[in-house]
Structure 1
């Protein structure tokens, strides 16, 4: 498949790196230094030029392109680039935007802007944050099958009741499958006799109720958070507060700009908006931020978010979540004391990546820095699963593949070896990265 990517920033470069081994990738960027860096670092064709210029796109081979991804940091540039691509060829086009209003317009009429798919960075980040907040010890959460299936990557604390149990002993939930364990940087595909250790990160797939129940079993002392503080009222902070309100929470939100604070107070009826500097320790002490169950930092840059979360933890906040704009900083944030680092750019790259997986996966979640992926696939006649039991299909697949869930006409089905997979079922499958290319074309 020939893929043209406009924008060689973190999102575009991440996508290019993941596709360069198996696809013909062309990257277009107006910055000569970025183009030179990509030329030496990745097996891609890098072109300097304006992605909204038809002549540049023709040089990139737009006539033969199968997919066009506009991933610059400017919403309008991405939309214009997709429109230009439609003039020069007929690729499947994807536009990355930050502002949800463009997404809402496109959702109202998919013909809007001439874009085949649109992904909103800020809304994805907010959804990720809200998912993590809802599950104690969760490092990452994602939804599949229109919310009927939930993936959770959960850290097992030392001293947890689950630590020392086998998977068979811990698996007390009817609608839950243990699909992977991350231990010492390696992926372990567990069986019933695999012992769960303190410090492991366990990857589970199941319905949301079972995921919450297992999360509670891991850390019984951790209750559903009641006091949530959001630091920063920009788009991510606003969307996070809005989604929390929809789930019955009444968060507090700290915003420095007076005009923005008043606008937020009008838009968020169940949120207490406080106008102040979130790095003012005396203010945080007066407002008892240290007693919060969770503090979410969604300020303008990584340095501010790191300072705000570490300050909140020092004051006693139980859990700190920070938005990290630079993908490479995520592990550093968590190493110095931030409980969860959420990268909007990484979430966007994941969402776009799903369109390159085999016959277009319905959803994709990248596990622990690309050590594995969880894919949702609608079964058709070409799938190895079609009309067969899971045990029969597994015999024709490499090791490192686990079926985590099945939904059929919206109904959740717990996968077992003798479960027959039918046409049009949605199958959620865990796949180790080492065998990903072998698996995606077959499932």
Structure 2
């Protein structure tokens, strides 16, 4: 497939890197240093210029493009690129946008702006945060099979009850599969004898109930579900959507916003949330409002530095977990190293979502593990698949090493995969696939 990507920032680069091995990719960016980096770093063509300029798009091969992805940091630019592409070609268009006002307009009219898919950074980030809230120790959660399957990644602390247990000892859940253990940047496909150690990240796949039970077992003293005390710092669009989504799930979050006009607006729009007007770094206020009793603190302020400060203050006061929105990719590992439990980068979130939209017809859904170490993919099995009509212990032998079948859904039924389970055409299968095996696996499936 011929793919044209406009915008060579982190999002554009991530998408190009993912698509380049199996597609013809051309990247357009105004910065010559970025196009040069991508030319030498990946198997892609590049064009230096303004992606809203028809001459530049024609030079990049817009007329023969089958997919156009507009991934600059400017909403209006991305909409113009897709509109132009729709006028000049038959390409499928994907626009990255930050603000929901454009998404709301797009959702009310069919293919308005010439955009086939609109991917909203702020809303996707809020949803990512919302999925993590309610699962103790979880750092990433993704739904599959229409919500009947969940993948979750957990960080194992020294206090976790399963530390130094084998997978066989820790696996006390009927509909849960231990798909991987990530240790010191190494992805380990575990067997029953694999020992789980402090500092490991464990990836599990199973029914939502079993994943939640596993999470509760990692921290029995943690608040459960909507009983959790959640404090959100910052009435940004991300902060607003986190509060709205949690309110819809029965939570009663507290949201702290310094600007009085914005606080008043939020109070009107979020009746189920408690809106407080204050400086998020005011220690006296934090102590008076018992932030130390919060199970989760979400930092969604306007700068990375303020989000780090608020997170560290909350931890110092005694808050259980902190989730911070981090706009600078290079800061993510640093912030987690100094005490932030979960650092979420909006650019990574939106890049993963766009990558999902570019998957093959057989792939129903995709989640990236640690950005590039592995993928969890959902496929609908057809009669030609190596999985069809065979027991798992037999069919898995025809797949490369590093593949784990994590869950199966058959119509509305959840099927726990076991060695003698026979997969049928029409089943939806959720698999964990190591990075080195992705291309070979998807071809075989």
**TM-score, length-scaled by structure 2:** 0.95
Output the CA distance in 1 between the equivalents of 2:81 and 2:75. Answer: 10
Selected match of 2:257 from 255, 258, 269: 255
Q: Identify the residue that residue 319 of structure 1 maps to in structure 2.
A: 321
Question: Is the CA contact (8 Å cut-off) linking 1:232 and 1:254 kept in structure 2?
Answer: yes
User: Shift in Å at residue 91 of structure 1?
Assistant: 2.1
Structure 2: gaps (5+ residues): none
1:70 to 1:213, Cα distance in 2 relative to 1, 3 A: same
User: Cα deviations across residues 380-419 of structure 1 (Å, max 9, x unaligned)?
Assistant: 3443223333233212111100111112223222122222
Question: Is the CA contact (8 Å cut-off) linking 2:348 and 2:371 kept in structure 1?
Answer: no
Equivalent residue runs for 1:50-65 within 5 Å: 50-65=50-65
1:147 to 1:70, Cα distance in 2 relative to 1, 3 A: same
Residue aligned with 1:192, SS: coil
Question: Is the CA contact (8 Å cut-off) linking 2:5 and 2:70 kept in structure 1?
Answer: yes
1:442 to 1:114, Cα distance in 2 relative to 1, 3 A: farther
Q: Identify the residue that residue 407 of structure 2 maps to in structure 1.
A: 405
Question: Is the CA contact (8 Å cut-off) linking 2:222 and 2:295 kept in structure 1?
Answer: no
User: Cα deviations across residues 272-299 of structure 1 (Å, max 9, x unaligned)?
Assistant: 1111211222222222223221110011
Output the CA distance in 2 between the equivalents of 1:124 and 1:369. Answer: 16
Q: Identify the residue that residue 86 of structure 2 maps to in structure 1.
A: 86
Q: Identify the residue that residue 19 of structure 1 maps to in structure 2.
A: 19
Question: Is the CA contact (8 Å cut-off) linking 1:233 and 1:299 kept in structure 2?
Answer: yes
Residue aligned with 1:182, SS: strand
User: Shift in Å at residue 360 of structure 1?
Assistant: 5.3
User: Shift in Å at residue 266 of structure 1?
Assistant: 0.5
1:273 to 1:350, Cα distance in 2 relative to 1, 3 A: same
Q: Identify the residue that residue 370 of structure 1 maps to in structure 2.
A: 372
Residue aligned with 1:57, SS: helix
Q: Which moves more between the two structures, 378-387 or 261-270?
A: 378-387
Output the CA distance in 2 between the equivalents of 1:110 and 1:396. Answer: 43
Question: Is the CA contact (8 Å cut-off) linking 1:3 and 1:24 kept in structure 2?
Answer: yes
Question: Is the CA contact (8 Å cut-off) linking 2:223 and 2:295 kept in structure 1?
Answer: no
Q: Identify the residue that residue 130 of structure 1 maps to in structure 2.
A: 130
Question: Is the CA contact (8 Å cut-off) linking 2:328 and 2:345 kept in structure 1?
Answer: yes
User: Cα deviations across residues 44-89 of structure 1 (Å, max 9, x unaligned)?
Assistant: 2221222223322111112222321111122222122112112222
Structure 1: gaps (5+ residues): none
The number of residues matched between the two structures is 443
Q: Identify the residue that residue 397 of structure 2 maps to in structure 1.
A: 395
Output the CA distance in 2 between the equivalents of 1:47 and 1:303. Answer: 35
2:194 aligned with 1:194: yes
Residue aligned with 2:398, SS: coil
Write out the 4+ residue segments of structure 1 that deviate beyond 6 Å after TM superposition.
none
User: Shift in Å at residue 185 of structure 1?
Assistant: 1.5
Equivalent residue runs for 1:79-118 within 5 Å: 79-118=79-118
Output the CA distance in 2 between the equivalents of 1:249 and 1:408. Answer: 32
Q: What's the Cα RMSD here?
A: 1.8
1:105 to 1:206, Cα distance in 2 relative to 1, 3 A: farther
Q: Identify the residue that residue 205 of structure 1 maps to in structure 2.
A: 205
1:43 to 1:138, Cα distance in 2 relative to 1, 3 A: same
User: Shift in Å at residue 4 of structure 1?
Assistant: 1.0
2:181 aligned with 1:181: yes
1:404 to 1:93, Cα distance in 2 relative to 1, 3 A: same
Output the CA distance in 1 between the equivalents of 2:98 and 2:16. Answer: 20
User: Cα deviations across residues 275-327 of structure 1 (Å, max 9, x unaligned)?
Assistant: 12112222222222232211100111211111111121122211111001122
1:362 to 1:106, Cα distance in 2 relative to 1, 3 A: farther
Question: Is the CA contact (8 Å cut-off) linking 2:231 and 2:255 kept in structure 1?
Answer: yes
Residue aligned with 1:369, SS: coil
2:445 aligned with 1:437: no
Output the CA distance in 2 between the equivalents of 1:305 and 1:218. Answer: 26
Question: Is the CA contact (8 Å cut-off) linking 2:235 and 2:301 kept in structure 1?
Answer: yes
Output the CA distance in 2 between the equivalents of 1:421 and 1:327. Answer: 40
User: Shift in Å at residue 339 of structure 1?
Assistant: 0.6
User: Shift in Å at residue 109 of structure 1?
Assistant: 4.3
Output the CA distance in 2 between the equivalents of 1:301 and 1:7. Answer: 23
Q: Identify the residue that residue 149 of structure 2 maps to in structure 1.
A: 149
**TM-score, length-scaled by structure 1:** 0.95
User: Shift in Å at residue 154 of structure 1?
Assistant: 0.8
Output the CA distance in 2 between the equivalents of 1:373 and 1:345. Answer: 18
Equivalent residue runs for 1:237-248 within 5 Å: 237-248=239-250
Selected match of 2:343 from 341, 344, 353: 341
1:424 to 1:85, Cα distance in 2 relative to 1, 3 A: farther
Output the CA distance in 2 between the equivalents of 1:263 and 1:69. Answer: 34
1:137 to 1:43, Cα distance in 2 relative to 1, 3 A: same
Equivalent residue runs for 1:59-78 within 5 Å: 59-78=59-78
Question: Is the CA contact (8 Å cut-off) linking 2:223 and 2:229 kept in structure 1?
Answer: no
Question: Is the CA contact (8 Å cut-off) linking 2:83 and 2:113 kept in structure 1?
Answer: yes
User: Shift in Å at residue 147 of structure 1?
Assistant: 1.4
Output the CA distance in 2 between the equivalents of 1:236 and 1:205. Answer: 27
